Amino acid sequence: MGRAAVYIDGANLFFTQRHLGWQIDFSRLMAFFISTYASVQANYYVPASEPVSEENAAFTRVLTAHGYQITSKPVKKIVNKETGVVVMKGNLDVELVVDALSAADQYDTFILFSGDSDFLPLLRALKEKGKEIIVYSTQGLSARELLAEPGVSYCDLALLKERVEQVRPGETQRVEGLAGGNEPDFSLPLPDVGTIFTGSVLKVQPYGIFLSNPYHVKCLLPLGFLGISRHIADLTAIVRMSDMFDVVVFHVNAARDVAEITVKLADKKMTEVLSSRIEGPAENYH
């Protein structure tokens, strides 16, 4: 499992989701990559309109809560003096390319979310540096040059629907996408204390496990809430990125820019599974 860097062309992905007819859950997307790679950097590039709408502010909090680094710049209004036509410009391709090349020594696999052939020079430059290249887009919105480029793996986002589609709490069916006339809801109400849900592993720290969640907030399952009596010095030794945790909300903190919830493990079987994994050098466990 190597190091991956995910670079998302936000404007392009917006139209990709509209074309697909469903929305991506960015916490599930992050969990998908974390389950595949040892480390993941995620970068999202998006034009910023002013004033910032409540929906855009909520979306920014969602991305930040789940580990995405956001790069944005204001949309420019360019007026053609001869025709008077106003053109809106908010392209961040240059910023994405510069960042990807500057950070090339920090990753082994470059993952691009865009079907734009303008990124071909970047992909070729990274191939020369020995990077693995993967492009995510969908049929009908992917440039033929990208599909035909040697050494570039192409993945259709449509095939990831079951893994990364956004589903509202309590729903099992898919959420209507932009094609159905509905915008994704990034401002769902915070859960009440006692609410139960299932989360996948986003990151493991010595003090606890960060989980994906349907509320798009920071979600921590502390080490002390795993139900394991023995002190564990190395939590990564017993937690797998593929683990799923049934948890109950213990505390809700809405005072921060990105709301936070603390949860407790609600599944005794998972406590037993984790306990059974405690083995190895005695100095790791007390």
- Rounded CA gap, 71 and 68, in Å? 10
Q: Does residue 127 form part of some domain?
A: yes
Q: What is the per-residue pLDDT for 193?
A: 93
- Rounded CA gap, 31 and 13, in Å? 18
Q: What is the per-residue pLDDT for 55?
A: 74
Q: What is the per-residue pLDDT for 283?
A: 42
| HEC letters along the chain | CCEEEEEEEHHHHHHHHHHHCCCECHHHHHHHHHCCCCEEEEEEEEEECCCCCHHHHHHHHHHHHCCEEEEEEECEEEECCCCCCEEEECCCHHHHHHHHHHCHHHCCEEEEECCCHHHHHHHHHHHHCCCEEEEEECCCCCCHHHHHCCCEEEEEHHHHHHHHECCCCCCCCCCCCHHHCCCCCCCCCCCCCCCEEEEEEEEEECCEEEECCCCCCEEEEEHHHCCCCCCECCHHHCCCCCCEEEEEEEEEECCCCCCEEEEEECCHHHHHHHHHCCCCCHHHEC
- Whether 170 and 86 map to the same domain: the answer is yes
- Whether 171 and 200 map to the same domain: the answer is no
Q: Does residue 59 form part of some domain?
A: yes
Identify the domain boundary among 139, 155, 180: 180
- Whether 204 and 80 map to the same domain: the answer is no
Q: Does residue 191 form part of some domain?
A: no
Digit-by-digit pLDDT tens for the chain (286 residues) are 689 999 999 888 988 999 999 989 888 898 888 888 888 899 999 887 766 677 777 788 778 878 889 998 776 666 566 665 544 455 788 999 999 999 999 999 999 999 999 999 999 999 999 999 999 999 888 898 888 899 999 999 999 998 888 875 554 433 332 233 334 445 557 889 999 988 888 888 888 998 888 787 889 999 999 998 877 878 888 998 778 899 999 999 887 767 889 999 999 999 999 988 886 444 444 4
Which of 207, 210, 279 lies closest to 243, judged by CA?
A: 210
Q: What is the per-residue pLDDT for 75?
A: 66
- Whether 251 and 149 map to the same domain: the answer is no
- Rounded CA gap, 155 and 153, in Å? 7
- Token pair, residue 148, equals 């035909």
What CATH number did the domain enclosing 272 receive? 2.40.50.140
- Whether 176 and 277 map to the same domain: the answer is no
Q: For residue 24, what are the β-bridge partners? A: 165
- Rounded CA gap, 14 and 44, in Å? 12
Q: What is the per-residue pLDDT for 200?
A: 81
Q: What is the per-residue pLDDT for 281?
A: 45
β-strand pairing of 196-205 with 208-211: antiparallel
- Whether 20 and 159 map to the same domain: the answer is yes
Counted domains in the chain: 2
